[in-house]
Structures are given as structure tokens and as C-alpha cells.
Amino acid sequence: MTTTSRALAPGQVRTAEGVLGEWGALLAVARKEWLYVRRYPSWVISLLIWPVIFPLAYILSARALSGPDQSGLALFIARTGISDYLGFIAIGTTVWMWQNVVLWGVGFALRNEQWRGTLETNWMAPTWRFTFLLGPSLVHLAQMLIFMLVSAIEFGVFFGVRFNGNPLLVILLIAVSAPSVYGLGIAFASVVVWLKEAHNFVQMVRGLVMIFCGISFPIALLPGWMQEVAVFLPQTYMMRAIRSAALANATLSDLMPDIIALLGFGAFFLAAGYILFQWTERRARRAGAIGQY
């Protein structure tokens, strides 16, 4: 295509080719998502309330069960090596919340476009179609980083949690966890375009993470077969590594096995998400289901 004419004839338009053009498309999708987030500002209320409300039930249960003199905590410390059970619960619930919100947010990104009536319009553009999932994932990750920061502040203010570990290590762990969290979200998004709903799947994954990964208790308490299931869930590694980094002063070398596992899970879930996306997209194109409600 030409790049010089001032008054362009049909078919003549200045375009950025290849990776640069696709990068511009990705930024545009992310910007559009961000504009939608800004124009529906009620999420800010959730951002402030949920970090306090959600872990409260677990925290109060833990307080009640640890006894008036909190003597029951000794067993907990012996099992986990972490003395701050409030921080332990707060990190568990935050990781759970992260995956939960990704399933609803990224998992329903394409479905939301179907509801708006705009999915077909996007699909008719020469953009790499996976970009329409990567863009919302970027915005969502930014939102979740804000959510985690607000959570950390509120845990300190309301529950007296003190994160005494290396914050850079925590950030690194969030970064290596993101591919598996968002890979699962992208896989969900593909299923949702195909099946039109995935509420039951979301409930199932939330339940798995809640019970098997130990959001409020050490998984050593689980029966043996449940611990074996936990080994196959990346959230188990996320919770363990972030708790160790934030509350038990773990070093990078201590965390390396979990980091490698998380990168492995990330590669698997992103690849699975991409393959599932390609498969369901083709299926929807054959069935004429791309624009259907």
C-alpha cells in the first residue's frame, strides 16, 4: 500500500506493517478497555471493600479457633513456618481473588463484546485475533496490581499485617504467576465464546483453588490425595511462594523451585489458552456463532 498520496484513493492508506502495526492494535485494544473501565467506575468501590470483607470471615474463624490466649497458633506456626496467620490468610485470599476476577474479567472479555454487539466488527479487522484477549489481560493486570497494592495497605491498616519480606521478590512472583493466571482466563474466554456461558466452570475452578490450594490453611492439613491434586494447581505455588517472600524473608534461591514451576505452568496455560482459542474461533466461524448472544 502506498504511503505518499495526500488525497488517498480507495485502497491507499498508510499502514504500519508487521509487529509494529500489531503492537499499535494491542495498545488500542488496551486503551479501549481502559476507557470502558473508567466509564463504569463502580469497580473502585469493590476495590476498596473486597480486600477487607473477603478475608474477614477466615480471620475471625482463625481468631476464634486459636483460643483466648492464641495458644492454638503454635501448631499453625509449626506447620507453616509463618507466625503471621493474618498475613497468611490475606495472601491466600488475594491470590484466590486474583484468579477469580480474571475468570470473570478476561474470561468474559469476548462474551462482553458479543453482548455489546461489537465482536463481529472487531473480527472483521485484519488484526491478529488473539490481540483481543491480550489487550483486556493487560488492563486487567494493571487493575489487579492496584487491587493488590490497596489490599496490602488495608491489611496493614485494618488487620495490622506487616509484610516484612523483599517487595521486589513479591513483584517478581506476581510477574511469573501472571502467565498461568491469565492463560487460564484466556482458555475460559474461548470456552465462553463457544458455550455462551461458563458460570459452572468458574465456580468449579474457584472451589478447587479455595479447597486444594489452602487459601486459609496449610495444605499439609489436607488428606494425602488432596495434596497430590494441589501439586497440579499453580495457585498452590503462588500462595506458598508469595507467603514465603512477604512473610518469612525467603530468598530468591529459596523460591527458585516455585518460580520454575510457575513459569512451567504459565507456558502450559498460555499455550493451552491459545490452542483452545484457535479451535473455538474456527468452530464459531463455521457455525456462524461469533456474533450470537
Partner 1 sequence: MSEWAIEAENLVKKFPRKADSAENGSNGAQSGAGKKFWPFGKKKEMTYFTAVDGVNLQIRQGEIFGLLGPNGAGKSTTIRMLCTLLEPTSGTARVNGFDILKEPTQVRQSLGTVLAGERSIYWKLTARENLEYFAALYHIPPAVAKKRAQELLERFELAARADDLVEKFSTGMRQRVAISKALVANPPILLLDEPTLGLDPQAARKVRELIAELKAAGHTILLTTHYMEEADQLSDRIGIIDQGKIIALDTPARLKERIGQKDVIRLEIAGWHEDLSRRLQEVGGVENLVSRRLEGEAMAEVTLHAENSRAVLPGILDRVNYNGTRLVNMNIVRPSLEDVFISLTGKALRD
Segment lying near partner 1 (by CB under 8 A), choices 26-34, 85-93, 182-190, 257-265: 26-34
Backbone angles phi, psi at 247, to 5 degrees: -115, -20
Q: How far apart are CA 259 and CA 165, in angstroms?
A: 17
The residue within the footprint of partner 1, chosen from 32, 130, 201, 211 (CB under 8 A), is 32
Q: How far apart are CA 173 and CA 165, in angstroms?
A: 12
CB neighbourhood size of 187 (10 A):
25
Size of the site for partner 1 (CB under 8 A): 42
CB neighbourhood size of 116 (10 A):
10
Quick one: 120 or 228, whose CB is closer to partner 1? Answer: 120
Q: How far apart are CA 66 and CA 61, in angstroms?
A: 9
- Residue 49 near partner 1 by CB under 8 A: no
Quick one: 122 or 227, whose CB is closer to partner 1? Answer: 122
The residue within the footprint of partner 1, chosen from 4, 41, 71, 124 (CB under 8 A), is 124
Quick one: 199 or 285, whose CB is closer to partner 1? Answer: 285
The residues, ordered by sequence, that sit 6+ positions from 76 with a Cβ below 8 Å of its Cβ are: 66, 82, 85, 88, 218
Q: How far apart are CA 182 and CA 177, in angstroms?
A: 9
Of 16, 32, 14, the residue nearest 24 (C-alpha): 16
The residue within the footprint of partner 1, chosen from 46, 118, 164, 203 (CB under 8 A), is 118
Task: Tell me the per-residue interface mask from 267 to 286 with partner 1, x by CB under 8 A, - otherwise.
Answer: ---------------x--xx
Quick one: 9 or 45, whose CB is closer to partner 1? Answer: 9
Q: How far apart are CA 288 and CA 30, in angstroms?
A: 27
The residue within the footprint of partner 1, chosen from 34, 52, 82, 122 (CB under 8 A), is 122
Contact in structure between 239 and 82 (CB atoms under 8 Å): no
**Region 185-214 residues binding partner 1, contact defined as CB under 8 A:** none
Quick one: 68 or 126, whose CB is closer to partner 1? Answer: 126
CA dist 132 to 31, 79, 119, 135, 149, Å? 12, 44, 9, 6, 27
- Residue 138 near partner 1 by CB under 8 A: no
- Residue 224 near partner 1 by CB under 8 A: no
The residue within the footprint of partner 1, chosen from 9, 42, 200, 253 (CB under 8 A), is 9
- Residue 40 near partner 1 by CB under 8 A: yes
Question: Which residues of the chain form contacts with partner 1 (CB under 8 A)?
Answer: 8-17, 20-22, 24-25, 27-29, 31-32, 35-36, 39-40, 116-118, 120-127, 282, 285-288, 290-291
